[in-house]
Structures are given as C-alpha cells and as structure tokens.
Amino acid sequence: MADLVGIIGTGITPRTQIYRTVTFKRLVELLTLKRNVLVRPRKWPDTFEDLLGQSILRIGSRDRGTFSTEHIYGQCWTLNTVSDAIWQIYSEGKDGFRLRTNVGKLLGSLKSQVADPDINCHIGRVRYLRDHELVDFGKTHFAQPEGYDSDVVAEAFMVKRRAFDHEKEVRILCQAPNVGEQGDLFPYTLEPNEIIDQILVHPLVPYADFKRTKQEIREMGFAGEIKRSLLYKKPEGFEIQWGPRI
C-alpha cells in the first residue's frame, strides 16, 4: 500500500476505490502484456486538458513564453461507482469493461517501476472550477517567490472546467524529464492481479455473452471478481401501486 507521498489534494486516501472504463482491446493489453500505459495530456480528448501547454507563460511583467509539458504523462480514473455517462463516453457500443482498484495500489504500481530519482509520480482528485476561478488559478498558482516543484506542476493538472464535474475524476501523473524520445506513451509493467480486484462488464451485454466473455478473461489469467453491471436492471421489489392501498 502506498503512503501519502505523491497524493495531491484532499478527499482521497490510499484506500479510496477508483474506476476506469476501457475497451476489450485495452483490457487484453493490460492482462496479457501486463502493462499500463500513461499518455501525454495533450492526447486526451478534451482540447483544454493540457492547461499548461496551451497557456501563455508570463515571466516578470513583459516577457512571454510557453511551458513545455512533453515530459508529463497521465491517466484518468473516476470515483463514480455507478454512472450511465461514464459507460457511454468510454465504451464503444457495448464494448466496455470497468476496472476497479484503489489509489494506493495504482500509485504504488507506478512508483515500483520507476528507478530514476528525477521521475516524479503523483495521483490526485480533480477540482472543477468556473472560468473566472481558472483565470485566477493561472495568475496565482505558479507566482510563488520560491519558485515551483513537481508537486506544484502536478496540482496544475488537477483542475478542470465545471462542465466536466460529472466525471469525478482522479488522475495519476508521471513527470519524466530525462526519458529521452519517449513519444506520447509511457508504458510500465504491472501485475494485474495485484492491482485490479474487479472487472465489471458493460450492462447491455446479454447474459450468455457475458458468460463467454467472463471465461475469456479467466483464460487471460485474471483471478479477481468478474461481474456484469446491473445498471439498467429494474430495482428489486419495484411495482406500480394503482389506487389507494386497501
């Protein structure tokens, strides 16, 4: 279990459960290749994700430049346990599988594979800000007399626009300034059975197909819990009361 070092912000602890929805192709990669892959934030779907890389950097009162984020890699998870929106956004039709782990296990999996002391790993809960709050954040976050460190940079990736607050996002980040020509991806090795404790299959998958898929997942070596989401199942005991009870 990871300690609190590297956990950004409040509202999460090493034991906080987090979730990520992936396609079957990504699930196979995780289970058979035993690797997780972080990507550069500029490759994330929301064009405003790379807040630092897309912003003007003011140095002093007149000079301007840009902040390079080429050395930063991340991955998005969520605190949402049940969300129709998450299934629809991150699945391809019925091709969706929700992974469950916790903050400590995920951060620990990354830290254990990073030997370079110059590589910094963080995980944090995203804060959702109004436009004027984002503007204030840009003006004040890095304007520190003592400068900034990797924690301050990581915190800058833990803010997002209020329009996305339904995602309840948690982000894992890796700052790797000396990795050379790493490209857009930062893969690292992990043991899925030590990190992932549950896989949930898309709620619209028919039960017969779920049973076959469950067997496929078992054959790939996953030993944890495998269930089908009951998101669209009628609540137990639901009935229509017509007229007054007698």
Q: Which two tokens stand for residue 120?
A: 């910094």
Q: In sequence order, what DSSP letters do the residues of 72-99 get, joined into one string?
A: EEEEEEE--SS-HHHHHHHSBTTB-EEE
Residue 128 dihedral angles phi and psi, to the nearest 5°: -105, 120
- Looking at the domain assignment, is residue 98 inside a domain? yes
What pLDDT sits at residue 67? 63
| Alpha carbon 212 to its chain's center | 28
Residue 63's pLDDT band (boundaries 50, 70, 90)?
low
Q: Which two tokens stand for residue 141?
A: 């976050």
- Looking at the domain assignment, is residue 181 inside a domain? yes
First-to-last C-alpha distance (Å) of the chain: 57
Per-residue model confidence as pLDDT tens digits over 169-213 = 999 999 987 765 668 899 999 999 999 999 999 999 999 999 999
Q: Is the pLDDT of residue 146 over 70?
A: no
Relative orientation angle of helices 207-219 and 24-32, to the nearest 10 degrees? 20
What pLDDT sits at residue 1? 44
- Looking at the domain assignment, is residue 76 inside a domain? yes
How many domains is the chain partitioned into structurally?
Answer: 1
- Looking at the domain assignment, is residue 79 inside a domain? yes
Nearest one of 2, 26, 25, 22 to 12, comparing CA atoms: 2
Average pLDDT (114-143) is 87
- Looking at the domain assignment, is residue 41 inside a domain? yes
What's the rounded Cα separation, in Å, for the pair 13 and 188? 23
What's the rounded Cα separation, in Å, for the pair 141 and 107? 24
- Looking at the domain assignment, is residue 237 inside a domain? no
Q: Is the pLDDT of residue 144 over 60?
A: yes
Report the mean per-residue pLDDT for the chain.
87
Nearest one of 196, 226, 231, 197 to 212, comparing CA atoms: 226
Indicate the SS3 state at residue 26. Answer: helix
- Looking at the domain assignment, is residue 1 inside a domain? no
- Looking at the domain assignment, is residue 48 inside a domain? yes
Residue 63: give the domain boundaries. 7-228
What pLDDT sits at residue 68? 65
Q: Which residue has the tokens 């790493």?
A: 182
Per-residue model confidence as pLDDT tens digits over 16-38 = 999 999 999 999 999 999 999 99
